[in-house]
Amino acid sequence: MSFVVNQAKQHYRHVLVIELGIITLLTFIVLVFKFDITLSFLFGLLSSFLPFCLFVYWIFFRYSPKNQSKMTALYRGEGLKWLLTIVLVVASFKLIMNLNVLAFFIGYIMMLFFNNLIPFVLSKVKI
């Protein structure tokens, strides 16, 4: 079982690095073409990426001395992911004065798409 878990850890490390590169690239592209919506777009990307990072950490990289079942860890990780998502979206709407809602949700939905697509593609393509 340890081999499978270590393989999944490596897989999700690659996923997070690729997604960080995508965030950087997309933010730079938006910065060049449409400067005034860059912050809204970036916060949309981060509002989806950071909860995904928390979920991956909670499932694969957190050491828990308690004898919890894997399903309990999965449900708690998913609950924390939803909670952080809600906090980041509310904070974005409250703290950014000139938030472009369309750009925010385009970034948010794009990163949700990448959160699901990249692990699937990497599982099919062996790196």
* Per-residue pLDDT tens digits for 40-58: 999 999 999 999 999 999 8
The 3-class SS string of 40-55 reads HHHHHHHHHHHHHHHH
Per-residue pLDDT at 70: 75
124 — pLDDT class (breaks 50, 70, 90): confident
Give 22's contacts (C-beta < 8 A, 6+ positions apart): 114
Q: Which two tokens stand for residue 62?
A: 């957190």
Q: What is the pTM of this model?
A: 0.88
Q: Which residue ranges make up each domain of the chain?
A: 3-124
Give 56's contacts (C-beta < 8 A, 6+ positions apart): 12, 15, 16
* Per-residue pLDDT tens digits for 64-117: 666 567 778 888 889 999 999 999 999 999 999 899 999 999 999 999 999 999
For residue 94, the SS3 value is: helix
